[in-house]
Amino acid sequence: MDYSAKMLRDDALKGKVIVVTGGGSGLGKAMTKYFMELGADVAITSRDLEKLKNTAAELETETGGSCLAVQCDVRHYDQVEAMLAEVLKTFGKVDVLLNNAAGNFISPTERLSANAFDTVIDIVLKGSKNCTLAFGKHWIDSKQKTATILNIVTTYAFTGSAYVVPSATAKAGVLAMTKSLAVEWAKYGIRSNAIAPGPFPTKGAWDRLLPGDLAEKFDMSKKVPLKRVGDHQELANLAAYLISDFSAYINGEVVVIDGGEWLQGAGQFNLLEQIPPEMWDMLESMIKAKKNK
């Protein structure tokens, strides 16, 4: 099966204007490319304007679409407002906000400085809040009929996770915001949903999180029941669907796309998968022997 195949028809996002935070590389870039292939105009934002401009030029060449690079540090509300103003000046409107910008550290929590903890909280939670609030106010004040917020969270937003405590804390907050606004802002025609991805390796992020040979030692595919990691196009397919009009009745939902990884870790007896078939035969024989006594 070709997991990199594209799902929606070519004009599925035609006429939509989408803002992708953290859109200059990795999964943000992959989603942006597919949105443009489906006919959308996309603005990508991050702190690194040079990288954004290179990505925008590359994607415009590859897709024939329009991509606007806007420098913005989502931690600062005034910069978010300025970014929104620039998008509106260029495209005249905005239909979708995709909160994708993130930061993370893999570390024992006691080794983190207060500043390191704050950095992740500020990018993930405060940044998502800043963008959501600025865009939401604009949509409500301008009486736009429909709009969509899509947040990228993670499966440990449900459960928490050791060694990524700032990220878990921030993503849990974004998840709560997603569900809360799905109810509160629905009356304004604003849908709010989220995606919780499992392992989708990106060179930049994974090199920082698992440097050297750690990535090999902690082979994420071994934790996934499907025995593979995700292809970027699979995530882009899901994101495109959730921001398209085809998903107009989906609101307040968090879609997990992880090959079953989260459920495998949650099930109390899932470790029994490590028992080989011949041992199951032996156990079954022992149980039958006891019954026959």
Is the pTM here over 0.85, yes or no? yes
SS3 10: coil
> At what angle are helices 26-37 and 232-243 packed, to 10 degrees?
60
| CA distance linking residue 263 with residue 160, whole number of Å | 14
pLDDT at res. 72: 97
pLDDT at res. 211: 57
Q: What is the pLDDT of residues 153-210, one digit of tens each?
A: 999 999 998 889 999 999 999 999 999 999 999 999 999 999 999 988 876 555 555 5
Catalytic annotation present for 77: no
Per the rule left: phi > 0, alpha: psi between -120 and 50, beta: everything else, 240 is: alpha
Residue 219, pLDDT > 60, answer: yes
Share of the chain above pLDDT 90, in %: 70
Q: What is the pLDDT of residues 96-122, one digit of tens each?
A: 999 999 988 888 899 999 999 999 999
Given 3, 156, 163, 241, which residue is catalytic?
156
